[in-house]
Amino acid sequence: MFKQVSESTGKTVTIYFEGKPVQVEEGTTVAAAVLDPSHGWTRTSHGGQQRGPYCQMGVCHECLMNIDGVPNQQACLTVVAEGMQVRRQNGVPDFHQEDKNHG
């Protein structure tokens, strides 16, 4: 669990993590925004292990999530936007799903 030590800017957006609304500060990355709601795990490995962001700077790829229907998005490099739908990416990415989204 994480705590906010900075003062709120008062500017927030609502995103949805696994369908549930989460209010976060504008400009936050998705990886930071879902730290607590996700209990620290944002994907499962192909062997089913729970994993969460390790580096927060775009290197480790542990934060890959499904953002607005697009899988394999680096949550630590993606900034929140109003109404954004964020889901865990479980197991092996579903490439057929991606085809449908971009068909």
Partner 1 sequence: MDKVWDVIIVGAGPAGMCTAIQTAKHGLSTLVVDRQTEPGGQIFRSAGSSSMIGKLGKDYAAGLPLVKQFLNCGAQFEPGANVWDIAPDRVYYSQQGHSHFVRARQVVLATGAMERPVPLPGWTLPGVMGSGASDVLLKSAGLLPEGPVVLCGNGPLVLQAAVHMHEFNVPVSAVLLTGRMGNIMHAMKHASGILARPGYFLHGVNMAAKTMLHQKCVLGAHDVSISESEKGLQVHYATRSGKHRKLDASTVLLHEGVIPETRITRLARLRHAWDQKQRYWHVDADKWGQTSAPGLRTAGDIATVRGAAAAQAEGSLVGLDICRELGQLSLADRDREALPFLRIIKRCQALQPFLDEYFAPTPAMLQPHPDAIVCRCEELTAGHLGEVIREGSYSPNGVKAQARPGMGTCQGRICGQAVAEMIADAHGLSMENLPQYTAQPPLFPLRLGELVEMPSPSELM
Q: Return the bridge partners of 74, or none.
A: 64
The only residue of 13, 22, 34, 62 in contact with partner 1, by rule CB under 8 A: 62
Distance CA 57, CA 53 (A): 9
Cβ atoms < 10 Å from Cβ of 48: 8
Cα 28 to Cα 32: distance, rounded to the nearest angstrom? 6
6 touches partner 1 by CB under 8 A: yes
Asked whether the beta carbons of 89 and 71 are under 8 A apart, the reply is: yes
* Among the listed residues 45, 83, 91, 97, the single contact to partner 1 using CB under 8 A: 45
Q: Does 72 bind partner 1 (CB under 8 A)?
A: yes
Instruction: Name residue 78's amino acid.
Output: T
Q: Is 88 in the site for partner 1 (CB under 8 A)?
A: no
Give the nearest distance from C-beta 32 to partner 1 in angstroms.
4
Can residue 23 be called a binding residue for partner 1 (CB under 8 A)? no
d(CA 6, CA 99): 41
Q: Which residues in this chain contact partner 1 in the complex, by CB under 8 A? A: 1-7, 9, 25, 27-29, 32, 35, 39-41, 45-47, 49-62, 64, 70, 72, 74, 77, 79, 98, 102
